[in-house]
Amino acid sequence: MSTAIVLMNLGTPAQPSAPAVRSFLKEFLSDPRVVEIPRPLWLAILNGFILPFRPKRIAPAYEEIWNRSADGAGVEGSPLLYYTRRQAELLQEQLRNSGRDIAVEYAMTYGEPRLDKVIADLRQKDYESFIVFPLYPQYSATTTAAIYDQVAQIFRKSRDIPDISLVRDYYHNPLYIKSLANSVREHWQVHGQAEKLLLSFHGIPKANVDKGDPYYRHCMETARLLAEALQIKENRWQVTFQSRFGKAEWLQPYTDRTLIEWGKSGVKSVDVICPAFSADCLETLEEISVENRANFIESGGGDYRYIPSLNLREDHIKALAAIVEDKLPGTK
């Protein structure tokens, strides 16, 4: 049975312009998985207050990162799209080197390339088995479940449904944790160990967790395993949550407020890593590396260093390959 893998990430505007950002945000923020406010109220807010103004404010941030990557690889276009495409290419190479002749493509939950188009193209090439691999180590209904919804919709009216499976999460996978730990150790070898290590995860509304979303638990377990692998004392690291949106309470403590507090208290140096991101994007290259750097330093903090996402690290690609191997038809 011929198998194809589809790596998936959130998505990106097609261009760093207000119209392109508006189109992307409209699709993204219209998904009931992403925002659980009652639909009539939310759509009124989205179309009346967010889409007319927010794209103009954040388009310059996309412009700032559009041709910039953490590894200086000369990215053309969106860093998220670049890294996801290269991850697919490197994963296919890794699998073929281990004797697996498997196609690896990529798709985005919002924007291009779309999952339905990618799967349709693969079925035209007679692939009969699919592994859809969301590049979210920690499961959340706001991210991974949205991909489950898309898969179900794609095949809802199909009579000939292929063999298809999804990677639900890999927040405690030993090779994923090892790759994170290696990235921190290599950073320390070059820059020295900072006074504090901040593990900043993308936030979600607290109400989502109260209703049963396991995301917070997954984040805390990733953080515990990483700290254990690094053998770092409890008072030297902390988990925080970034990228909150709107007025509702989100998971706390908040990254920006924590860094301001640390700056005011005289913390001399901080290393920041974002374990929930498989690839650098707006939320890491701009929000963490630029905006929160300014928050920390302007509040009195000292040296601020961002540790890049796992991106194209060899040990990261090997971790993804091992996860895929466990999902292949006929394996247990």
Instruction: Note the pLDDT of residue 70.
Output: 46
Q: Count of alpha carbons within 13 Å of 272, Cβ hemisphere only?
A: 28
Q: What parts of the chain have a pLDDT lower than 50? A: 70
Q: Which two tokens stand for residue 20?
A: 């392109």
Instruction: Note the pLDDT of residue 331.
Output: 57
The answer to whether the beta carbons of residues 317 and 94 sit under 8 Å apart is yes
Instruction: Note the pLDDT of residue 74.
Output: 54
* Long-range CB pairs of 218-221, under 8 A, 24+ apart, other chains included: 218/137, 218/138, 218/139, 218/169, 218/171, 218/172, 219/138, 219/171, 219/275, 219/276, 221/171, 221/172
Instruction: Note the pLDDT of residue 75.
Output: 53
Paired with 304 in beta bridges are 270
Find where tokens 């493509």 sit: 105
Residue count (the chain): 332
Rg (CA), the chain: 20
- Work out the percent of the chain whose per-residue pLDDT is above 90: 92
Instruction: Note the pLDDT of residue 28.
Output: 98
174-306 folds as: Rossmann fold (3.40.50)
Q: Which two tokens stand for residue 241?
A: 């949550």
**CA–CA separation, 296 and 312 (whole Å):** 28
Domain ranges of the chain: 3-170+313-327, 174-306
Taking the model in full, what pTM does it have? 0.95
> 40-52: per-residue pLDDT in tens?
999 999 999 999 9
191 marked among binding-site residues: no
93 marked among binding-site residues: no
Q: Choose the CATH number for 3-170+313-327 among 3.40.1190.20, 3.40.50.740, 3.40.50.1400, 3.40.630.10.
A: 3.40.50.1400
> 11-38: per-residue pLDDT in tens?
999 999 999 999 999 999 999 999 999 9
